[in-house]
Amino acid sequence: MDNTSEILLRSAELFNGKRLLLVNPPADALTATLEANWTVWTWDFAVQRGLAASGMSAEQLCFSHLCPAVEGLDGAVLVMPKAIERAEYALAQIAPLLRAGCPLYLVGEKKGGVSRAEKLLKPYGGLAEKLDSARHCQLWRLKVDGLAAPFALADWQRHIKLELADQQVELISLPGVFSHGRLDEGSQLLLEEMASLPSGKILDFGCGAGVLSIVLARRNPQSRFELVDVDALALYCAEQSLACNGIEAGVYASDGLSEVHGRLAAVISNPPFHTGIRHDTSIAERFFEQVTRHLLPGGELRIVANGFLRYPALIEAHVGHCQVLRENSRFKVYSARVPG
């Protein structure tokens, strides 16, 4: 069981028998072990799949960019997201659901930002109190004052316009979506490559706000684009961004390639496999192995990645001959085609 769940179980008496909203939990046995009337809000499709498989009903489980409008809550628990701005976004939706005096709990790992709990919770009541510290985690509680303003999604959206060499792009972004409010250096380098993609169905893996598909769909009108991501906020942003730019494409949730069906002419990606300076490439290797099964003979994998990552050997082992299309001091754009 995740450490954040373990620390909640240490204070089970606070939650037993209560009607609670649980936000951003790991896909573990907490809701089955701790006897409360749970409603779960997650933006992680992998968690949604895991909790649904464990028996949680569709009525209890919400996968969305928006918090469900739950009534009659006795409290709410937010598991600290990786991005502070995502925590702020979630709290702004949770707090208006709680009547004055209801507890709002924040739990998370010390290295994951929960040390900012007092500052994050301050807008919704008086002083937050630290209830527990164990397993490298902390549990905080605030009794809300009931004065939180209604949530307005428009207040959290960023609209940005990008000027590329051949086109203008408008993007919609929300907190915690990759490269929120800007074009990241890796994607920019990939989009500087003007070589055409194969005709047919193109998958944009880990699509974020959809910038790769928007630009490349205009350059490759003979292709049909599908966008997948594990994050509900990214999927919403991709849908909105596509609409703003007049691009028709399919957008759907997928845990890795779990929901991808059929054969593909190409896969494009700025893949979310690398964090910080860690050199673990096991996730990337699994992806390269699996993506080959979806690519047609002659199909292309085109990705951008940090240059120091040892992807070429992995790509050649699972896909085909790997070449560098473009590079700068930090990133490289790789292309490989399935033999045939």
Q: Which residues of the chain have pLDDT under 50?
A: 275-278
| Antiparallel, parallel or unpaired: β 19-23 and 75-79 | parallel
Measure the CA–CA gap between 325 and 89, rounded to whole angstroms.
38
CB 42 within 8 Å of CB 62: yes
For the domain spanning 3-153, the CATH number is 3.40.50.150
Chain position carrying tokens 């966008």: 227
Res 275: pLDDT: 47
Res 283: pLDDT: 80
Res 112: pLDDT: 85
Measure the CA–CA gap between 328 and 318, rounded to whole angstroms.
25
The pLDDT tens digits for 148-197 are: 999 999 999 999 999 999 999 999 999 999 888 789 999 999 999 999 99
Res 277: pLDDT: 39
Give this prediction's pTM.
0.95
Res 240: pLDDT: 98
Res 118: pLDDT: 95
Chain position carrying tokens 């998370």: 108
| List of residues 6+ apart from 266 with CB closer than 8 A | 197, 198, 200, 202, 203, 223, 295, 299, 300, 301, 302
What residue ranges in 221-330 does DSSP mark as E strands? 223-229, 250-253, 264-269, 295-306, 322-327
Superfamily of domain 157-337 in the CATH hierarchy:
Vaccinia Virus protein VP39 (3.40.50.150)
Q: Which of 292, 300, 221, 215 is nearest to 265 (CA)?
A: 300
Indicate the burial class of 111 (C-beta count within 10 angstroms; 0-12, 13-18, 19 or more): exposed
As annotated, the residues of the chain forming the CATH 3.40.50.150 domain(s) are 3-153, 157-337
